[in-house]
Amino acid sequence: MTVTQQRVAVRPEEIRRHNLSMLLRHIHRHGEATRAELTAAMGLNRSTIGALVADLVALGLVTEYVPSGGERAGRPSHVVAPRADGPYVLAVEVAVERISIAVVSLGGAVQARRVTAIEGHDRRPQAVVRRIVDDAAWLAQQLPHSAWPVGVGVSIPGTVRRRDGFVEHAPNLNWRAVPFAALLAATLPAQLDVQVGNDADLGAVAEHQRGAAVGYDHLVYLNGSVGVGGGIISEGAQLHGVGGYAGEIGHMTINPDGPACHCGSTGCIETYIGEHALLRAAGVTDRHGPAAIAAIFADADAGDARAVAAVHTVAVWLGRSLANVVNCLNPQAIVVGGSLAEVVRLDRSSVEAELDRRAMAAARSGVQVLLPGLDQDSALIGASELAFQTLLTSPDSPVVSLAAN
């Protein structure tokens, strides 16, 4: 029995639009399906599904075809598929060392992408905007004429105000108080809805929808590289908090007497499991960045004692951190991404041992530690999901459908 809040009464005229949205969401998430399968999955009758599919075909969002071959008796059920050459979103991941921009169609397929290494001045907001606009134009030329953009989703490694895509602070990009969604929207040639999210929040959505945590409706995605952030899913929906800042797991205190953190506090989880902590534990003082981190993992894999010990140290603190997440949120799964995924691969037993010791038994027994199913694309695919929300919520809205060829 749940103490839920259902505040809004349902009016009959809303049902058709609701069901149209539900059907498109189903096709987007699960891919092509026969009308018979859709009828069963949606709990609606056959004629209602037929009418809704016809609406989606007319809107240019899905196609229908009769499967060829087969000798079965009776009429074959039509197959309904998302259009690969129809609406698309631009998904952007702004990371510390690169910008990735991809064209993603309904159903979640990446149709094209461009990745650019960045450093120094390339990281400034205006330079990032320019890169996105240029790449978007280049990518659009690679697409069929029938394709049209319905939104832009951007992943940022920092705290993002949810309602307007204002970046409060992205320390590793050196951004503070950047109205990034507004900047990008104003510079794009076409009028497109721009949504901006935190990288770990978007990674959680993507791993839940299409990655390692499909079917796990209580989920935490912990993304660790230089910085450490988290995304939380509860009852299948993202937990944002009131402003969109939830999931700053890297800045939870795990030892008040611990090292100083760039956030101004001391003993943050990030100071124990972020990449700088791994470098420190391995005694590496002259290098940093992805290559230096990869070298430690390679050394640990080869049995180098110092590298093994460094990975172990981080694994123990990772286990302590995950135990706190388990006690607070009681998730079914924690997906560990970024370079922390490699720590789990190399020393899972130390992570699990701290969970055994520190997480409450009932919650501990119900949680699994998983590696990402989308490898390095979690945040990018999450950005595409964010950008698709307007279309999925209102498939027949003039805002998105008027753009159709």
Interface positions, 174-203, toward a copy of itself (CB under 8 A): 195
**What is the footprint of a copy of itself within residues 54-83 (CB under 8 A)?**
none
Q: Is 114 in the site for a copy of itself (CB under 8 A)?
A: no
Q: Is 11 in the site for a copy of itself (CB under 8 A)?
A: yes
* Pick from 222, 266, 257, 216: nearest CA to 236: 216
Q: How far is the CB of 294 from a copy of itself (least distance, A)?
A: 29
Give the HSE-up count for residue 67: Cα atoms under 13 Å, Cβ half-sphere: 16
Q: Is 357 in the site for a copy of itself (CB under 8 A)?
A: yes
Q: List the structure tokens of 8.
A: 């809004």
- CA–CA separation, 344 and 363 (whole Å): 20
Query: Which of the ranges 103-111, 251-259, 307-315, 344-352 carries the binding residues for a copy of itself, by CB under 8 A?
Result: 251-259
- CA–CA separation, 190 and 192 (whole Å): 6
Q: φ and ψ at 6, to 5 degrees?
A: -120, 105
- Give the nearer residue to a copy of itself in terms of CB position, either 43 or 120: 43
- Give the nearer residue to a copy of itself in terms of CB position, either 66 or 242: 242
Q: Assess contact for 146 and 152: CB atoms under 8 A.
A: no
Q: How far is the CB of 196 from a copy of itself (least distance, A)?
A: 10
Cβ neighbors of 50 (< 8 A, separation 6 or more) are 35
Cβ neighbors of 358 (< 8 A, separation 6 or more) are 319, 320, 323, 324, 327
Which residue of 28, 157, 251, 370 would you call a contact of a copy of itself, by CB under 8 A? 251
- Give the nearer residue to a copy of itself in terms of CB position, either 116 or 266: 266
- Give the nearer residue to a copy of itself in terms of CB position, either 20 or 308: 20
Neighbour-count burial for 88-102, b at 16+ CB within 10 Å, e otherwise:
bbbbbbbbbeebbbb
Q: Is 10 in the site for a copy of itself (CB under 8 A)?
A: yes
- CA–CA separation, 137 and 327 (whole Å): 47
Q: Is 366 in the site for a copy of itself (CB under 8 A)?
A: yes
Q: Is 239 in the site for a copy of itself (CB under 8 A)?
A: yes
Give the HSE-up count for residue 41: Cα atoms under 13 Å, Cβ half-sphere: 18
User: What binding mask, one character per residue, do residues 252-291 give for a copy of itself by CB under 8 A, x or -?
Assistant: xxxxxx-----xxx--------------------------
> What beta strand segments (E) does 171-216 contain?
175-178, 194-198
- Give the nearer residue to a copy of itself in terms of CB position, either 147 or 239: 239
Q: Is 18 in the site for a copy of itself (CB under 8 A)?
A: yes
Which residue of 144, 243, 283, 289 would you call a contact of a copy of itself, by CB under 8 A? 243
**What is the footprint of a copy of itself within residues 124-183 (CB under 8 A)?**
159, 161, 168-169
**What is the footprint of a copy of itself within residues 23-42 (CB under 8 A)?**
25, 42
- CA–CA separation, 82 and 25 (whole Å): 10
Q: How far is the CB of 129 from a copy of itself (least distance, A)?
A: 20
- CA–CA separation, 381 and 104 (whole Å): 8
Query: Which of the ranges 73-81, 125-133, 232-240, 290-298 carries the binding residues for a copy of itself, by CB under 8 A?
Result: 232-240
Q: Is 210 in the site for a copy of itself (CB under 8 A)?
A: no
Q: How far is the CB of 265 from a copy of itself (least distance, A)?
A: 4
Query: Which residues partner with 175 through β-bridges?
Result: 170
Q: How far is the CB of 212 from a copy of itself (least distance, A)?
A: 16
Query: How is the chain split among helix, strand and coil, in percent rounded to 5?
Result: 45, 20, 35
Q: Say whether 349 sits in a helix, a strand or coil.
A: helix
Which residue of 358, 373, 396, 403 would you call a contact of a copy of itself, by CB under 8 A? 358
Neighbours of 134 (CB within 10 A): 13
Which residue of 51, 126, 174, 236 would you call a contact of a copy of itself, by CB under 8 A? 236
Q: Is 215 in the site for a copy of itself (CB under 8 A)?
A: no
- CA–CA separation, 67 and 34 (whole Å): 9
Please return the burial class of 127, using the count of CB atoms within 10 Å of its CB with bins 0-12, 13-18 and 19+.
Answer: middle
- CA–CA separation, 112 and 2 (whole Å): 44
Q: Is 389 in the site for a copy of itself (CB under 8 A)?
A: yes
Q: How far is the CB of 166 from a copy of itself (least distance, A)?
A: 10
Query: Which of the ranges 128-136, 240-248, 290-298, 397-405 carries the binding residues for a copy of itself, by CB under 8 A?
Result: 240-248
